[in-house]
């Protein structure tokens, strides 16, 4: 936004010109801090899906912009599946025992805790 926009010395005609007036986007973009964004992500997603844009800031500095997908982007999006991630090895991992893997994770955590490296 033009810094002189609200300056009382700026002539009215200049304020009304497209070159100095804030754009619709500048007026309609909302800024939230990152902790509020985390706490209200579902609400922000609804706002963005309806066409709004949201700037997320951290320590007062903007770090990201949430914008809606274009219809073309939404139509082209294909979520990655296990087959897509593992490619030619997907068949070999189809019977992978995730519970056993999680138990192994627990065992490793216990070892790290024993030596004081984890909470």
Reported as a single tens digit per residue, the pLDDT across 16-73 is: 555 555 555 554 688 999 999 999 999 999 999 988 999 999 999 999 999 999 989 8
Residues 97, 105 contacting (CB under 8 angstroms): no
Residue ranges of domains in the chain:
1-69, 78-119
pLDDT tens digits, one per residue of 98-114: 788 888 888 888 888 88
pTM, entire model: 0.45
In CATH, what class is 1-69? Answer: alpha beta
Using a 10 angstrom Cβ sphere, with 0-12 exposed, 13-18 middle and 19 or more buried, the burial of residue 48 is middle
Instruction: Give me the pLDDT at residue 74, please.
Output: 86
Query: Which uninterrupted H or E stretch holds 113?
Result: helix 98-114
């Amino acid at each position: 936004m033009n810094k002189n926009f609200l300056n009382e010395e700026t002539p009215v005609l200049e304020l009304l010109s497209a070159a100095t007036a804030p754009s619709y986007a500048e007026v309609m973009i909302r800024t939230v801090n990152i902790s509020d964004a985390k706490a209200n992500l579902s609400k922000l997603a609804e706002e963005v899906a309806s066409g709004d844009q949201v700037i997320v800031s951290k320590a007062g500095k903007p770090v990201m912009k949430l914008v809606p997908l274009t219809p073309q982007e939404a139509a082209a999006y294909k979520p990655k599946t296990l087959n897509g991630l593992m490619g030619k090895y997907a068949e070999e991992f189809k019977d992978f025992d995730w519970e056993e893997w999680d138990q192994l994770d627990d065992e490793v955590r216990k070892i790290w805790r024993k030596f004081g490296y984890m909470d």
